[in-house]
């Protein structure tokens, strides 16, 4: 009787099967279990990070919403003025022939003046967002308002165009001293081209809340260096439209706003008197 001997291949296969466990790569040891306290600490950290991120994003969105709302209010006010002017023109075309023109014009003018604030050719304004008062020249010959600024730097925040600047002031300007070298950051509403003898210049336009007497308005300012001029602020027709008229014979009809670190409103008379003396000398 013949016995079948295993072949060399079979013996090799059996050997590999028996020693296969030694050929497998070593596995990393399982991580230690996380305790309930460690798990709670990790959850608290995650919640804090998510809360901080959401709060920062929400505040940025609220700031953008406020600036857009202020700019929209200014645009709506300007459109309203144009509509009222058109209505006045239509009413004039439809006026009855039996009413004298002079009487009608005087009554219309008086009605318009009753709804507007009277401003002098120079006034104190306040910028609550900046925290200071400044002198302003009221100029109906200028279309837009202007704020003196230096070191104007453009940058981007959350996909929006922003600008960083300092107030452009000289030593004689009356201002809350703590804001002289303070950086101001606001969104850019738009840009305007200014054509001068030296060439064209592109300037950013920003929107700031401004106080002048009883008026509290969001005003669009172009930014440019006015430190060589007598007034760091110029208020133009877009601000005056529908809310104010100018009495060029008067100055500082409204009190200077007060801010922390600034001088009391009753001391503004000293600065005003000095300016009147300078004008008298001229």
Q: Is the pTM of this model over 0.85?
A: no
Supply the pLDDT for residue 61: 76
DSSP SS3 for 95: coil
Supply the pLDDT for residue 270: 84
- CA atoms of 103 and 111, how far apart (whole Å): 12
Domain boundaries, the chain: 51-93+117-271
The residue ranking higher by pLDDT, 141 or 24, is 141
pLDDT one-digit tens code per residue, 31-46: 677 687 877 888 888 8
pLDDT one-digit tens code per residue, 67-88: 677 667 666 666 666 666 666 6
- CA atoms of 121 and 69, how far apart (whole Å): 29
Supply the pLDDT for residue 243: 92
- CA atoms of 62 and 187, how far apart (whole Å): 13
| Per-residue burial over 48-67, b = 16 or more CB atoms within 10 Å of its CB, e = otherwise | eeeeeeeeeeeeeeebbeeb
Beta-sheet strands, E only, within 101-143: 117-120, 122-127, 132-138
Q: Under a CB-based contact definition with an 8 Å cutoff, are residues 219 and 211 in contact?
A: no
- CA atoms of 179 and 264, how far apart (whole Å): 17
**What class is the 51-93+117-271 domain?**
mainly beta
Q: Residue 124: pLDDT above 90?
A: yes
């Amino acid at each position: 009787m013949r016995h079948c001997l295993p072949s060399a291949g079979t013996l090799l296969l059996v050997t590999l099967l028996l020693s296969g466990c030694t050929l497998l790569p070593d596995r990393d040891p399982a991580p230690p279990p996380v305790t309930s306290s460690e798990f709670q600490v990790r959850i608290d950290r995650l919640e804090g990070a998510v809360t901080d991120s959401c709060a920062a994003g929400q505040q940025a969105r609220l700031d953008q919403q406020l600036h857009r709302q202020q700019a929209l209010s200014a645009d709506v006010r300007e459109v309203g003025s144009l509509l009222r002017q058109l209505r006045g023109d239509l009413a004039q075309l439809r006026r009855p022939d039996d009413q004298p023109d002079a009487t009608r014009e005087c009554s219309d003018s008086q009605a318009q003046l009753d709804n507007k604030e009277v401003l002098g050719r120079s006034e104190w304004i306040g910028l609550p967002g900046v925290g200071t008062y400044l002198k302003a020249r009221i100029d109906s010959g200028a279309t837009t308002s202007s704020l003196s600024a230096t070191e104007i730097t453009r940058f981007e925040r959350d996909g929006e165009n922003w600008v960083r600047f300092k107030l452009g002031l000289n030593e004689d300007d009356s201002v809350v001293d703590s804001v002289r070298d303070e950086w101001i950051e606001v969104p850019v509403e738009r840009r305007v081209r200014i054509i001068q003898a030296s060439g064209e210049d592109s300037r950013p336009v920003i929107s700031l809340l401004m106080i002048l007497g009883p008026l509290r308005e969001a005003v669009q300012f172009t930014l440019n260096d006015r430190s060589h001029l007598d007034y760091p602020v110029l208020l133009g027709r877009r601000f005056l439209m529908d809310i104010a008229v100018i009495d060029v014979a008067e100055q500082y009809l409204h009190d200077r706003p007060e801010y922390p670190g600034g001088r009391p409103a009753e001391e503004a008379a000293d600065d005003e008197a000095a300016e009147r003396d300078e004008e008298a000398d001229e």
